[in-house]
Chains A and B, each alone.
Chain A
Amino acid sequence: MCTALLAVASVGRAQVASIPLLARARSADRVVVGRAASTAPVWQVNEHGDRLIVSIVRVAIEETLKGPAATTIDVEIEGGTIDGLTLHVSDQAPFSPGERGVLYLRGTPRGTFVPHLRGESVLKVDASNRVEGTALTVADIRREMAAANVR
C-alpha cells in the first residue's frame, strides 16, 4: 500500500511517475532532505557538447536518507539566468534559495551532484513536510526506504 501511495503521489507532484520513488532511491547515489541555501548560475558544457546555463544550488542537508552524511551538497540543475539571459528547461524546475525538498541525486566526475533522472528527482516539500501537491510526507519516504533497507 505504501509503495502504491508513493507512486500515485509522485504523479501528482512531479507530473511524472514511470519510476516509483523507491526505485529512484535504489538507483540514486544519494537521497537527502535539505533546503536550498544559495544558487550560482554558471555556463557549463555537458557531455554532449551542449553549452548551457546551469545553476549550482548549495543545499543545506537536514537529513541524509541514502549515502554518506554531509552538511551541504552542491547540486547542478540545468537552467538559470546570467547577465539577463535565462535558460528555461521543461523538465527541470528551479530549486530556489529557501525551498526545501527531497532530492534524489547522482554524482558527477566534478564532485558535484545532479538530479538523478532529472526533474522528477527534486520533490519540493512544504512547511508541514508534505511533498507539494500531494499527501505524501517525508516520513512516508523515509519509512519506505528504511523498510526496503535502501541506505
Chain B
Amino acid sequence: MKTLFAISVAGLAGAILLGADPSAYSLSGPAWPVPQMTYLVNAANLDLSGLAAETAVRAGADTWLQQTAAFRFVYGGPSSQTTNTFDNVNLVLFRNESSGSAIATTYWWSSGGKIVDADVVFWDGGFTFFAGTSGCSGGFYIEDIAAHEFGHALGLGHSTLAQATMYPSTSACNVQNRSLDADDIAGARALYPLTLPPLAPTGFRIVP
C-alpha cells in the first residue's frame, strides 16, 4: 500500500545500515544525550485550525511513547517562530511551500555524536493536511507524518520494511505510521536502551 508519495529522502543521509542484522531500521548516527526532548509547535497552517494541527502533531510525537525505550518527546507549548535553524529550540512548523514530493522534512543538528537540536517542516504548499482518522481525501494525516519525522528527530534513518513507520514513503490518507512496527521499536531501543529500574538497596539498617 505504500506508494508514490515521499515523506523524505535521506535519513539515508549518513544512514548506517545494520549489515547482517536482520533488523531493517537504520540509525543516522547521533542520539540525544538526555532521555527526553522538548519541542514547540507553530501550528499556523493552510488546512486546519491551529488547535487541530497542534493536537495532531503532539499525537504523532507521542507515537514514540509506544516504543518503551528510554526516551520521550515532551510538548513545550505553542510558538510563533517561523524559521528553522540551530538555536536549541526544537520546532515543528508548517510552511506554505512545496518541496517536490517530500511531505515534511526533518533538520537535526549534532555535535560530538549528540543531537543538539531538531526541527520539522511540513510542506503545506504542496500537500493538504488532515487530522484525526477520518475525512482525509488526497492528503495526509498530520499524526502519521509527524510520527515519521519525530523518528528522524529521535536519530533514526529510514527502514527498508514497508510496514515500518520509518519506511520512507507512504500513501495518501495512510493511518499506519502512527502505530510503530517492531522494527521501529528495535531502532529506538538501539539508540536509547531500556534500563531496568534500580534495585532497592538491601542489607542496610537504617539507624534513626
Contact = CB atoms under 8 A, between A and B. Distances in A.
Interface stretch (B1-9, B42-50, B184-192, B194-202): B1-9
A85 interface: yes
Given A88-B28, A90-B10, A91-B9, A119 B102 contact: yes
Contacts of B110: 85-86, 88
B168 interface: yes
B101 A18 contact: yes
Interface of B: 4-14, 28-30, 82-86, 95, 97, 99-102, 105-112, 116, 149, 152, 158, 168-169
Which of A14, A93, A116, A119 has most B Cβ within 10 Å?
A: A119
B99 A118 contact: yes
A15 B83 contact: no
Contacts of A118: 9, 99-100, 102, 105
Contact of A94 (B13, B82, B97, B107): B13
15 contacts: A14-B6, A16-B168, A17-B4, A48-B84, A49-B83, A86-B109, A90-B9, A90-B107, A93-B13, A94-B13, A116-B100, A117-B100, A118-B99, A119-B10, A120-B100
A73 interface: no
Contacts of B99: 91, 117-118
Nearest to B149: A90
A112 interface: no
Interface residues of A, number: 31
B109 A88 contact: yes
A51 interface: yes
A89 B109 CA distance: 9
A86 to B, nearest CB: 5
Contact of A90 (B101, B105, B116): B105
Which of A11, A90, A91, A92 has most B Cβ within 10 Å?
A: A90
A131 B11 CA distance: 18
Nearest to A20: B4
B101 A52 contact: no
Contact of B107 (A87, A117, A120): A87
- In the A-B complex, list the 8 residue pairs whose CB atoms are closest, starting with the nearest: A117-B100, A16-B6, A119-B9, A18-B101, A93-B10, A15-B168, A90-B8, A91-B8
Contacts of A79: 13
Contact of B95 (A14, A15, A48, A119): A48
A84 interface: yes
B10 A89 contact: yes
B6 A120 contact: yes
A15 B169 contact: yes
Contact of A16 (B95, B101, B111): B101
Given A51-B85, A78-B107, 6 more contacts: A18-B4, A48-B82, A48-B95, A51-B86, A90-B7, A121-B100
